[in-house]
Amino acid sequence: MLVQVDSGTYAYNPWGSEQMLGQGEAFLMPPDQDMQFSIDHARVSTCSFSAALLRQIASELWDVDHVRLREGAVRPVDAAQHWLWRRTVEEYRHQVFETPAIYADELLRNQASRYLIVSAITAFGLVETPIRSAAAPSAAVRRAIAYIDDHLREPITAQDIASAARLSQRGLSLAFQRERGQSPMQYVRLARVAGARRDLLSADPTRGGSVTAVAAAWGFSNPGRFAALYRATYGETPRETLAR
């Protein structure tokens, strides 16, 4: 729970460390912590959200699967972030909480609440900034690849992949180019060619195995284009692979 002192004084002891706040100051009441606090004619504003929701939004911000909450994050990280947090709370209170038409609109209320949580993450430094190896794919790219691999023999569009990755088509294309040096649809074509190669190597031409049938099974309706792509990828024709 986040608390902002509007007037008076507020004393509390997170992790056994005594803290005294006055008018205009803000702090985070850490989850799962037993604390003692005292109020001296104070008027406070509070907002609360679950640790699970915080982790979910932070994971989306950094495009990773998991984040760690930063222990000890109980005050704004600096004066500028404190000012930004106060302004965000004031705007939320005025534009959302005190405006019935907006507060009654679930979509607007949820988006505004999300912005409030993002501001809290930034202002209070609530999570440890994830460090990802440059060689490790982002969560969005992993989601895209998992979707492609699960639907490789089915018709797949760029929009299908982007939706599974929870990104726009442009955002996913940029992520793929950055992390894999290819577009999502290029990955699809090469993955299908690889699948066709496995089938060609295991097929028996004396029992009806054919290049055309294997190509069709992997979504290649034009045998000539399939043969050209296959040869460019593996340095031999599909028929040569089938004849092994």
3-state secondary structure 49-90: CCHHHHHHHHHHHHCCCCCEECCCCCCCCCHHHHHHHHHHHH
Contact of 175 with 167, CB cutoff 8 Å: yes
DSSP SS3 for 19: strand
Question: 178-210 pLDDT, tens per residue?
Answer: 888 889 999 999 999 999 999 998 887 777 678
Residue with the larger pLDDT of the pair 37 and 138: 138
- Average the pLDDT over each of 7-11, 160-164, 203-207 and give the range with the smallest value: 7-11
Is the confidence at residue 160, as pLDDT, over 90?
yes
Q: How confident is the model at residue 32, as a pLDDT? A: 53
Percentage of residues in the chain having pLDDT higher than 90: 21
DSSP3 helix / strand / coil % (the chain, rounded to 5): 55, 15, 30
How far apart are alpha carbons 234 and 229 in whole angstroms? 9
Q: How confident is the model at residue 121, as a pLDDT? A: 85
Residue with the larger pLDDT of the pair 205 and 96: 96
Q: How confident is the model at residue 187, as a pLDDT? A: 92
Q: Identity (one letter) of the amino acid at 88?
A: T
Q: Which residues contact 205 (CB under 8 A, 6 or more apart)?
A: 242, 243
Backbone φ, ψ for residue 48 (5° rounding): -140, 150
Q: How confident is the model at residue 130, as a pLDDT? A: 63
Mean pLDDT (the chain) is: 81
Q: Which residues contact 3 (CB under 8 A, 6 or more apart)?
A: 10, 26, 27, 28, 29, 44, 45, 46
Percentage of residues in the chain having pLDDT higher than 70: 78
**Model confidence band, residue 29 (pLDDT cutoffs 50, 70, 90):** low
Is the confidence at residue 157, as pLDDT, over 90?
yes
Dihedral sign (CA 143, 147, 150, 152): negative
Q: How confident is the model at residue 164, as a pLDDT? A: 92
Backbone φ, ψ for residue 101 (5° rounding): -65, -40
Is the confidence at residue 135, as pLDDT, over 60?
no
Two structure tokens written together for 35: 């604390």
Mean pLDDT over 45-59 rounds to 80
